[in-house]
């Protein structure tokens, strides 16, 4: 895990450093420690320099190329998480940007990337035998070939929309089939966000394709999305059940939510002996660092969707914002929610969900909620 040596050059393909921008800088806890994410507008070379006290690492200097811009929304000082102390953005003697990463004494790290996203994975110190001379030798670094990436415009929010289910997984069925309804709404929502908000919108699936739950979140992370919204339709053996609810990721003891999560998670929900447990441990997830944003997004989307549909359909029921163990939200690096937009099994709501008119109204309500969240987020960043 450790990257020993005084200088580690993390190379990518040749880029025009003068055109690069650091648009976002975050730190969040992980299962093994913490992750620092540097989100650039284009694949960018960074040099990581170590500052040690004796043989123990205490600080990293992440040097960005001369000419690299630091976005206006990037805080010059950011609180740390786990083995990562405070992050500070400054400048070297030549004026080029430098990120200073304070570490717990003796922490180890490694460098990785996804597209234009550079990641520092930091692990806290652990008792172990002293490393050999070979282990302390500077590690060889090979240039990494990165496919040409689309230049990121940080003035435009990037939103990944996930139409639930698809392909061999039809999802819930009632007066319509979930996989078809979610795709129809997702397409409309993507168009609204792109045309009216100028957002970059990405669908995890654009047709009737089978897609694993983990692949959906991985796509959002790979795209360095600002938001991840998973769209679903509800179902119940009780045909009187109706309403709209929005979830963010967390554990719960609510039996109805656990049953719903089991239905939406499919094979990724694995009951175990001596009580039902998810195969993942939510307290170990990176999403913990984004929980506040996810709660605010869920609240804003729920309020907007219920208000928009309620103005047209007076019998709409607000089931509220809830927390639940939905696998599709696991590991997301950004605020993320799962929306259950109505019950397919309800004789009124189910029939509505099958119509273009209701699907259009749902997409409009979702758009308004996302737009309101982004507006509030921008105001918060400028205060």
62-98, pLDDT tens digit by residue? 999 888 999 888 888 888 888 898 898 988 877 889 9
CATH 3.40.630.40 intervals, the chain: 158-382
C-alpha dist (Å) from residue 222 to 114, 173, 362:
6, 31, 27
**Residues 253-284: tens digit of each pLDDT:** 566 655 655 555 553 433 333 233 333 333 33
* Tokens 């944003």 -> residue: 293
Among 136-140, 184-188, 189-193, 325-329, the range scoring the smallest mean pLDDT is 136-140
- What is the model's pLDDT at position 365? 97
Residue 163: closest CA among 256, 264, 291, 293: 264
Give the CA angle between residues 332, 19, 93 to the nearest 5°.
Answer: 95
- Average per-residue pLDDT for the chain: 78
- What is the model's pLDDT at position 2? 37
CATH 2.60.40.3500 intervals, the chain: 7-131
- What is the model's pLDDT at position 382? 52
What is the percent of the chain with per-residue pLDDT over 70, rounded to a whole number? Answer: 74
> Burial level of 234, CB count in 10 A (0-12/13-18/19+)?
buried
- What is the model's pLDDT at position 380? 65
Is residue 304 within 8 A of residue 224, CB to CB? The reply is: no
Q: Map residue 17 onto helix, strand or coil.
A: helix
Instruction: Give residue 134's pLDDT band: very low, low, confident or very high (50, 70, 90).
Output: very low
Q: In the CATH scheme, what is the code of domain 7-131? A: 2.60.40.3500
Pairing of strands 227-234, 336-343: parallel
Give the CA dihedral 201, 340, 298, 166, nearest 10 degrees: -30
**Residues 302-322: tens digit of each pLDDT:** 999 999 999 999 899 999 998
Q: Which residues pair with 317 in a beta bridge?
A: none
Q: What does the pLDDT average to over 333-337? A: 86
CA distance 358 to 184: 11
Torsion-angle region of 135 (φ positive above 0: left; ψ -120 to 50: alpha; else: beta): alpha
Residue 206: closest CA among 251, 242, 161: 161
Give the CA angle between residues 32, 34, 38 to the nearest 5°.
Answer: 135
- What is the model's pLDDT at position 5? 35
Q: In the CATH scheme, what is the code of domain 158-382? A: 3.40.630.40
- What is the model's pLDDT at position 318? 97
Q: What does the pLDDT average to over 98-122? A: 84
CA distance 285 to 32: 10
CA distance 292 to 323: 12
Write out the two tokens for 199: 């957002």
User: Element (H or E) spanning 377, and its range?
Assistant: helix 356-382
Which string of DSSP letters, residue by residue, matches 203-221?
ES-SSS----HHHHHHHHH
CA distance 100 to 88: 5
Helices (H), 155-290: 178-197, 213-222, 255-265
Find all residues with CB under 8 Å of 308, minimum gap 6, and list them. Answer: 361, 364, 365, 368
Rounded to the nearest 10 degrees, what angle do helices 356-382 and 291-310 cross at?
140
Is residue 84 within 8 A of residue 65, CB to CB? The reply is: no
Biggest distance spanned by C-alpha atoms of the chain: 74
At 232, give phi and psi (nearest 5°): -140, 165
Write out the two tokens for 168: 């061999």
């Amino acid at each position: 895990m450790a990257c020993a040596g005084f200088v580690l050059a993390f190379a990518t393909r040749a880029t025009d450093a003068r055109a690069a921008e650091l648009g976002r800088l975050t730190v969040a806890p992980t299962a093994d420690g913490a992750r620092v994410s540097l989100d650039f507008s284009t694949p960018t070379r960074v040099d990581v320099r170590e500052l040690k006290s004796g043989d123990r690492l205490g600080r990293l200097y992440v040097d960005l190329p001369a000419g690299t811009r630091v976005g206006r929304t990037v805080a010059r000082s950011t609180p740390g998480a786990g083995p990562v102390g405070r992050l500070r953005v400054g400048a070297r003697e030549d004026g080029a940007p430098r990120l200073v990463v304070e570490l717990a004494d003796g922490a180890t790290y490694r460098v990785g990337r996804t597209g234009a996203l550079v990641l520092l994975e930091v692990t806290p110190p652990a008792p172990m035998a002293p490393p050999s001379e070979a282990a302390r030798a500077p590690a060889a670094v090979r240039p990494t070939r990165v496919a040409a990436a689309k230049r990121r415009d940080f003035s435009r929010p990037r939103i990944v929309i996930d139409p639930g289910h698809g392909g061999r997984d039809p999802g819930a069925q009632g007066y319509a089939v979930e996989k078809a309804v979610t795709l129809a709404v997702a397409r409309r929502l993507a168009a609204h966000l792109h045309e009216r908000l100028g957002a970059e919108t990405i669908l995890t699936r654009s047709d009737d394709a089978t897609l694993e739950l983990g692949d959906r979140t991985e796509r959002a992370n790979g795209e360095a999305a600002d938001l991840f919204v998973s769209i679903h339709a509800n179902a119940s053996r009780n045909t009187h059940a109706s309403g709209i609810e929005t979830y963010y990721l967390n554990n719960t003891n609510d039996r109805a939510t656990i049953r719903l999560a089991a239905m939406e998670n499919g094979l990724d929900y694995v009951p175990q002996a001596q009580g039902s447990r998810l195969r993942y441990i939510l307290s170990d997830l990176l999403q913990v660092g984004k929980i506040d944003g996810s709660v605010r997004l869920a609240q804003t989307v729920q309020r907007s969707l219920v208000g928009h549909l309620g103005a047209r359909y007076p019998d709409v029921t607000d089931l509220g914002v809830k927390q639940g163990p939905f696998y599709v939200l696991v590991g997301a690096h950004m605020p993320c929610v799962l929306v259950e937009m109505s019950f397919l099994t309800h004789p009124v709501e189910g029939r509505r969900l099958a119509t273009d008119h209701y699907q259009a109204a749902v997409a409009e309500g979702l758009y308004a909620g996302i737009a309101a969240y982004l507006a509030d987020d921008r105001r918060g960043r400028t205060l």
